[in-house]
Chains A and B, each alone.
Chain A
Amino acid sequence: MTPRRLILASPALLLLPPPQPARASAEAMAAALRAFTGGAAVTHGRVTLDISPLVENGNTVPLSVIMPSPMTQAEHVRAIAIFNERNPQPHVVSARFSPHSGQAMLATNIRLATSQTIVAVAALSDGSFWSDSAQVIVTLAACLEG
């Protein structure tokens, strides 16, 4: 290529995406979710995921999950897991509950590498799975800057 051709071609090079650090993807999240449910069907509803839709600082994002349940030996929430789409790993936290929990509730602070979808999945003692998801926009990302 002549120098002139190179100059003409350079805008195309600029359009190439910059190299990205390792990220989880929608498929990685789906795989992590399958590992949690064992392939069982997940119904949307009953569990409530509470997270701010617009986050200024991805380093500390308050998140809470609650699922109404009588929490008796016969009928209780066994576990709730939280997954994300675009952090380096799809798994965020997974909680175990018992009838002594009184209610299936969890609150913590998480990190978000970028704007993405968060999914909460609850596992009930009767073997059913319920989920809720939330879209979050992050203006300052976590994890990846030095």
Chain B
Amino acid sequence: MARVLINIPRQIRAGETFAIRTLIQHGMESGYRPDGAGGVLARDIITSFTASFEGEEVFGLELSPAVAANPFITFSMRVQGSGTLRLRWRGDGGFDQSEVRQIIVT
């Protein structure tokens, strides 16, 4: 399991747009670096990120090797009430990690 940091604002009001910042620990091996033996290191990156609230997609991102190591992704969302936010990262080599957070409207 890769380490994940997720920042959600403390106070969320219904109908108001807020930002969610995420960071996941991942080397994002680009597939272009030489391995010292005449070849290149195989690509190993996160290729997709999705955020869904109550089962409905809010934001999705397709990543390429041009994304820096430890992908940092900030996106925004707007909710009418409290619910469950699921964040999912998928990538090369069957990488698949999900994190679930509660969004609580104050």
* B72 lies within 8 A of A102 (CB): no
Q: Known: A102-B17, A103-B76, A143-B30. Contact between A93 and B58, CB under 8 A? A: no
User: In the complex, what distance in Å separates the CA atom of A22 from the CA atom of B31?
Assistant: 12
| A94 surroundings in chain B (CB, below 8 A) | 61-62
Complex Cα distance, B17 from A92, in Å, reads 26
Interface size of A by CB at 8 A reads 36
In the complex with contacts A109-B72, A143-B30, A101-B63 CB distance below 8 A: no
Map CB proximity to B onto A29-65 as digits: 1 under 8 Å, 0 otherwise: 0000000000000000000000000000001110010
Q: Tell me, rounded to whole Å, the shortest Cβ–Cβ distance linking B59 to chain A.
A: 6
Please classify how large the interface on chain B is, using the bins under 10, 10 to 19, 20 to 34, 35 or more.
35 or more
The reply to whether A102 and B77 form a contact with Cβ atoms under 8 Å apart is: yes
Q: Indicate whether B4 reaches chain A with its CB closer than 8 angstroms.
A: no
Do B30 and A146 touch across chains, with their CB atoms under 8 A apart? no
Q: Within A72-88, which residues are at the interface with B (CB < 8 Å)?
A: 84, 87-88
What distance in Å separates the Cβ of A25 from its nearest Cβ neighbour in chain B?
15
Interface residues of B in 3-58 (CB under 8 A from A): 16-19, 21, 30, 32-36, 53, 56-58
Instruction: Give Cα distance in the complex from A100 to B76, angstroms.
Output: 9
Shortest CB–CB separation between residue B17 and chain A, in angstroms?
A: 3
Cross-chain contact B56 with A108 (CB below 8 angstroms): no
Query: Using Cβ atoms and an 8 Å threshold, which residues of chain A touch B77?
Result: 100-102
Q: Judging by beta carbons under 8 Å apart, are A109 and B68 in contact?
A: yes
B98 near A: Cβ within 8 Å? no
Query: Which A residues touch B74, using CB under 8 A?
Result: 64, 105-108
Given contacts A102-B17, A103-B17, A146-B33, are A108 and B72 in contact (CB under 8 A)? Answer: yes
What residue of chain A has the Cβ atom nearest to residue B52's Cβ? A100
